[in-house]
Amino acid sequence: MAEPLPQCYLNGDYVALSDARISPLDRGFLFGDSVYEVLPVFAGRMFLFREHFDRLARSLREIRVENPHTHQEWRAILEQLIVRNGGGDMYVYLQVTRGAEFGRNHAFPVPAVKPTVFVMASPLPVLTEEQRAAGFAAITVQDFRWGRCDIKSTALLANVLMKQQAADAGAYEALIVRDGEVLEGSSTSVFIVANGVLVTPPNSHRILPGTTRDATLSLATNVMPVEIRSISLDELRAADEVWISAATRDVLPVTSVDAAPIGSGKPGPAWLRLREAFARLRQQLADTPVYEP
Ligand SMILES: Cc1ncc(COP(=O)(O)O)c(C=O)c1O
C-alpha cells in the first residue's frame, strides 16, 4: 500500500498529516464511536459524491451525531484537500467521531461535544493488468460482526480479522456467510453471474449499502438481466462468475473461492463488459469541468 498524501484536514485546518494530532480521549479511539467514508477521485473529480455523502449523512443519523457539514461544505473541504495534494487520481478517506470529552463514559456526553472531523487523501491502490487478468482468490468466513453492518462504522475489528484470515490463506478477500447466505466481502460488495443473470443480495442491516454496487447495477442493466435476491453458498460455488466491488477498486473478478475455481477459473465475459462500462464512466467524469468553489 502506498503512503497517504502529505496534506490532511483536521477540525477546520489543513495540516501536514505527520503533524495531525487528536486526543486519546476521542470516542473514535476509545469506543470506535465514529463513522467514515471512502471516495475515489479521478483526474481531480470526485466520483459518486452525492451517493457517498448521502450515506455519510445516514450513518451519522443512525448513530445520532449531528452532521457537522452540509453537502456543499463537505464538497468544498474535499476539493481544497484534493488540490492541496496535487489533484489527479487518488482516494479520500474521511472520518467523523462523536468527539472527545474529559473522561470515558459509554453514554453520549451531555451536553454534546464537537465531533472530530478528519479527512486524508491517498493514492489509489495499484492493481496490475496481470492481477486483473488472473482474477482474485477469496475464502469464505462465517459472519461474527454486529447487527448493524449497514452503518459505515469504524468499529471494524471483525472485518480486520476476516481480511487477515484471507491474507493468511493467500487470498485477496473474505466473503462473509451468515445462515448459509453470502452477504458481502470484508470490505467489498459481492455479485454472482449465473445463467446470464447478475445477482447481488438486497441491502439490509447485515450489509453495507455499497456505492459501487449501485453504480454496477445501473451499468449492468444495459448489458444483462439483474436480480436483487439472496445468494446461497452453494450458488456462489456453482456460479459462472463472482465479482466484488468497492469504491477504490471498482469491480474485480473472483476466480477462486476456498481454493476451488469459479467457472473457467478466469475472469468471465460479463465482467469484461462491465469493466469497459466503468472505464467509460470514469472517462466521462474526467471530461466534466472541475468543480470550482
Ligand atoms: C463491508 C463493506 N461492504 C461493501 C463495501 C463497498 O462499498 P463502496 O462500494 O461504497 O466502497 C465496503 C467498502 O468499504 C465495505 O467495507
Cis peptide bond upstream of 111, omega within 30 = yes
Domains of the chain by residue range: 7-122, 129-282
**Mean pLDDT for the stretch of residues 73-77:** 98
**Mean pLDDT for the stretch of residues 46-51:** 96
Ligand 1 atom 7: residue of nearest CA: 210
Topology (CATH level 3) of domain 7-122: D-amino Acid Aminotransferase; Chain A, domain 1 (3.30.470)
| Cα–ligand 1 centroid distance for 35 (angstroms) | 13
Of all atoms in ligand 1, which is nearest to the CA of residue 176? 1
| Cα–ligand 1 centroid distance for 163 (angstroms) | 13
Share of the chain above pLDDT 70, in %: 98
Looking at domain 129-282, what is its CATH homologous superfamily?
A: D-amino Acid Aminotransferase, subunit A, domain 2 (3.20.10.10)
**53-57, 116-120, 170-174, 289-293: segment of lowest average pLDDT:** 289-293
Cell of 272: 469484461
Nearest Cα to 149, choosing from 59, 64, 228? 59
Residue ranges lining ligand 1, Cβ < 6 Å? 38, 184, 187-189, 208, 210-213, 245-247
- Kindly tell me if the per-residue pLDDT of 100 is higher than 80: yes
Instruction: Identify the pLDDT of residue 292.
Output: 47
Of all atoms in ligand 1, which is nearest to the CA of residue 48? 10
Residue type, 82: I
Cell of 154: 469504524
Query: Which tens digits make up the pLDDT trace of 221-249?
Result: 988 999 999 999 999 999 999 999 999 99
Ligand 1 atom 4: residue of nearest CA: 188
Instruction: Count Cβ atoms below 10 Å from residue 145 Cβ, excluding itself.
Output: 19
| Residue 114 annotated to the active site | no
pLDDT category, 283, cuts 50, 70, 90? confident
pLDDT category, 293, cuts 50, 70, 90? very low
- Kindly tell me if the per-residue pLDDT of 129 is higher than 90: no
Average pLDDT of the residues of the chain? 96
Query: Which tens digits make up the pLDDT trace of 188-211?
Result: 999 999 999 999 999 999 999 999
Of all atoms in ligand 1, which is nearest to the CA of residue 247? 11
Cell of 291: 468543480
Ligand 1 atom 16: residue of nearest CA: 187
pLDDT category, 284, cuts 50, 70, 90? confident
Q: Contact 188/244 with Cβ under 8 angstroms?
A: yes
Q: Do domains 7-122 and 129-282 have the same CATH topology?
A: no
Helix (H) or strand (E) run with residue 278 in it:
helix 269-286
The half-sphere exposure of 80 on its side-chain side, counting CA atoms within 13 A, is: 15
Of all atoms in ligand 1, which is nearest to the CA of residue 152? 16
**DSSP calls for 33-70:** -EEEEEEEEETTEESSHHHHHHHHHHHHHHTT---SS-
Q: Which of 178, 189, 190, 219 to mutate to test the pocket of ligand 1 (most atoms within 8 A of CB)?
A: 189
Rounded CA Rg of the chain: 20
Ligand 1 atom 3: residue of nearest CA: 188
